[in-house]
Structure 1
Amino acid sequence: MTTTVTPGRTGPADSGEQVGKGDARRRMPRIPDRIRHGALPYLLLLPAVLLELLIHLIPMVIGIVMSFRQLTQFYIRNWGEAPWTAFDNYRIAVDFSAPIGEDLLNSFLVTCAFTVLAVGLSWLFGVAAAIMMQENFRGRGLLRAVFLTPYALPVYAAVITWAFMFQRDNGMINHVLHDQLGLTDQPSFWLIGDNAFFAVVVVAVWKSWPFAFLIVMAGLQNIPRELYEAAAIDGAGVWQQIRKITLPSLRPVNQVLVLVLFLWTFNDFNTPYVLFGRAAPEAADLISVHIYQSSFVTWNFGQGSAMSVLLLLFLLVVTAVYLLLTSRTPRGASRTRKSADA
């Protein structure tokens, strides 16, 4: 019987090497598990933080610096040489007796009215549709998909389609209202004049209410069905159940939903720009398009940056006040929680 020995490899040497490696591994400093697990979330958030810095925070700081300069088309090539004007751009923007300040105030009021109507109607349609979709009936899945279609469509394609529908001579809106139903004496101009305000509200509501529908429908899944059954046994009708059970239970969802809809609608630039182009009618002069015109049409980037900073401050104040008011627990709810804990 012969024993085959592999040249250059011996048992004791291999075991010695393994023992040496094991000792080296034992001598290597090990990161404590607490530090390692504590740093992991920050490492995962690091790419998002870097993108946030590059996309939002750094341009925002640059815009704030630009608002203190007289940055016009003469300093585009080297905007660092633009004269420093301190708060002059802000004084001009808030001087409501002057043409620039008066136009900005009119645009701000139009945007407020537009936001109130668009957010209110979007929330109302979304809640009504979500409550209706809670009942089981044939075709419910298909109807849900149809309701979510405006939210799934690209914004530009949808708004361009609405622009064609609002055409005076060959648009579908005038064809239905004037030619078929006879509700108007003559075809209306929807993209110019006072009707432009209603046109942009209709498009904004059509585009936003499916989001409200989706969020409210998800919130309704957390309401126990036993509450409705008990209320029905006690003789509560549909409206009483909605008012006493559904809306109070949806309060946390509605708080976030209304805030998100407000921020999206007040800052909406795509809808009015695609619908009207660069020159929006006075009745639909939303502040986002107004700031764009002040910056890229008149080439006064310093003035446009000052308006943007004022808009940012307004939205921050409104958001802080809204969160402060809605974060307070109602007295009835606090008493209910105390009694439940007792």
Structure 2
Amino acid sequence: MISFLKKHTIAYVFMLPAVVFLILLLLVPIINVFIKSFYESNLLIVGDDLFIGLQNFINVMQDPLFWTNVKNSIVYTFGSVGGEYVVGLGTAILLNQNIKGRAFFRGAMIIPWVVPIVVAGMTWRWMLNPDYGIINVLLMNIGILDQSINWLGSETTAMFSVIWVNVWRSFPFYTISFLAVLQTINKNELEAAEIDGANMFQKFWNITFPKLKGISIILIVLHLIWTFNNFDFIWILTEGGPLNATETLAIATYKEAFMKYHYGTASAISVLMVVILIGMMALYFWLQNKQEAKGDN
């Protein structure tokens, strides 16, 4: 053990600043949030925290708005991840074909991912505006709509609109990942299957899709975490409105901490978010393992 440490001393020395930085940036704030969740803490009153045990959690879970926020978070997360997966897979398959201008389309596809979130969010707010937004103008000109819709200002369309914008923003990440895997598939396998009489769907389901399973798991898990904690896009587009129709747990945490200054309550919501996220991940992996067990049998 001592010889191992001596041999890798230089490596550990160079790693130390990064480890210290990560501890100060991530671990210390996380621990502080867990501690503060047991206190009545107000950001306007420094040093006057009162230990109240689980009362913050009880107050939060007794609030009907909390469960609305939970529902909104789940709908937003699964709607976004599902949409991103379908659109990303579809565009990857199209861009893997030998089509004219493929290089151009591959380059253009990445634009939503590289555009700054604030710029993209403000642009979509303008495009979805009920008075002068280009989306309503286009849909009315082609006869789909008879009158303009307040996409972000109506309870019935706000969540759909926010999910759509998030899908538009994130699907290139899926496309690039899927396309990288599709490029590695042996063409001879597809040709052999075609000779054996397999149609396009059968080739995709039996040859292509199984090879995408590994990257699919990674993408879905990462984006479940990222989307569940997403704050910026919803805040820019709707700020959680109208009438809390798009208010997720991340938005509620921000409002409690920086608008109402209830830091203890915000910390409790954050801890509950972690618990819900762990439960979602556990359920996903359980279903995944169950599916694999059926496949092995």
Quote the Cα distance in structure 1 between the aligned partners of 2:198 and 2:244. Answer: 49
Q: Considering Cα pairs closer than 8 Å and 6+ residues apart, tell me whether 1 or 2 has the greater RCO.
A: 2
Query: Contact 2:240–2:248 at 8 Å: present in 1 too?
Result: no
Other-structure match for 1:189: 150
For residue 39 of structure 1, report the CA deviation from its aligned partner.
Answer: 4.4
Distance 1:193 1:279, change over 3 A: closer
Match of 1:106 in 2: 68
Please give the secondary structure, in 1, of the residue aligned with 2:223.
Answer: helix
Structure 1 match to 2:194: 232
1:162 to 2:91 alignment: no
Partner AA of 2:77 in structure 1: T
The AA in structure 1 aligned to 2:149 is S
Q: Number of paired residues?
A: 295
**Amino acid of the structure 2 residue aligned with 1:186:** Q
Matched residue, 1:287: 249
- CA shift, 1:94, in A, is 1.5
- 1:47 has 2:17 as partner: yes
The one-letter code matched in structure 1 to 2:24 is L
Give, in whole Å, the separation in 1 of the partners of 2:114 and 2:214: 25
Match of 1:119 in 2: 81
Q: CA RMSD in A?
A: 2.1
User: Partners of 1:314 and 1:274 in 2: how far apart?
Assistant: 25
Q: Residue 112 of structure 2 contacts residue 169 of structure 2 at CA under 8 Å; is this kept in 1?
A: yes
Distance between the aligned counterparts of 2:10 and 2:193, measured in 1? 48
Structure 1 equivalent of residue 49 of structure 2: 82
Amino acid at match of 2:110: L
- Show the counterpart of 2:219: 257
Q: For 1:135-214, what aligned pairs fall within 5 Å after superposition? A: 135-178=97-140, 180-194=141-155, 195-214=157-176
- In the other structure, the counterpart of 1:27 is none
Larger Rg: 1
Partner residue of 1:311? 273
CA distance in 2, matches of 1:105, 1:48: 39
Change (3 A) 1:246 1:42: farther
Quote the residue 1:273 is aligned against. Answer: 235
Counterparts of 1:40 and 1:87, CA distance in 2: 46
TM-superposition CA deviations, 1:118-174 (whole Å, max 9, x none): 111110011111112112222101001111110111111111100111111111111
Equivalent residues of 2:154, 2:242 under 8 A apart: no
Structure 2 unaligned blocks of 5 or more = none
CA 1:246–1:37 in structure 2 vs 1: closer, same or farther (change >3 Å)? farther
Match of 1:134 in 2: 96
C-alpha contact 2:81 2:224 (8 A) present in aligned 1: yes
Moved more, 122-131 or 181-190: 181-190
Q: Deviations over 1:181-214 (max 9, x none)?
A: 2322321112212221121011111011111111
- CA distance change for structure 1 residues 295 and 176 in 2, over 3 Å: closer, same or farther? same
Conserved in 2, the CA contact under 8 Å of 1:107 and 1:287? Answer: yes
Which AA in structure 1 matches 2:111?
A: T
Q: Is the 8 A contact 1:267 1:288 kept in 2?
A: yes
CA separation of 1:109 and 1:253: change in aligned 2, threshold 3 A: same
Distance 2:291 2:17 in 1: 36
Question: Cα offset for 1:35?
Answer: 3.9
Distance 1:331 1:116 in 2: 24
Q: Give the TM-score of the pair, scaled to structure 2.
A: 0.92
Q: 1:193·1:282 contact (CA, 8 Å) conserved in 2?
A: no
Gaps (5+ residues) in structure 1? 1-30, 96-100, 336-342
Contact 1:273 1:280 in 2 (8 A): no
Fraction of identical pairs, as percent:
28
One-letter amino acid matched to 1:57: L
Counterpart check, 1:215 vs 2:177: yes
Q: Matched residue of 1:283: which SS?
A: coil
- Does the Cα contact within 8 Å between 1:125 and 1:209 map onto a contact in 2? yes
Matches of 2:275 and 2:7, distance apart in 1:
38
2:136, 2:254 → 1: CA distance? Answer: 31
| Distance change in 2, residues 1:82/1:331 (3 Å) | closer
Residues 1:272 and 1:332: Cα distance change in structure 2 (over 3 Å): closer
- TM score, norm. by length of structure 1: 0.80
CA pair 245-277 structure 1, distance change in 2 beyond 3 A: same
Matched AA of 1:69: Y
- Whole-Å separation in 1 of the counterparts to 2:16 and 2:89: 37
Query: Residue type matched to 1:86 in 2?
Result: G
- Cα deviation digits, residues 228-283 of structure 1 (max 9, x gap): 12111111111111111111111111000111111111111010111124755422
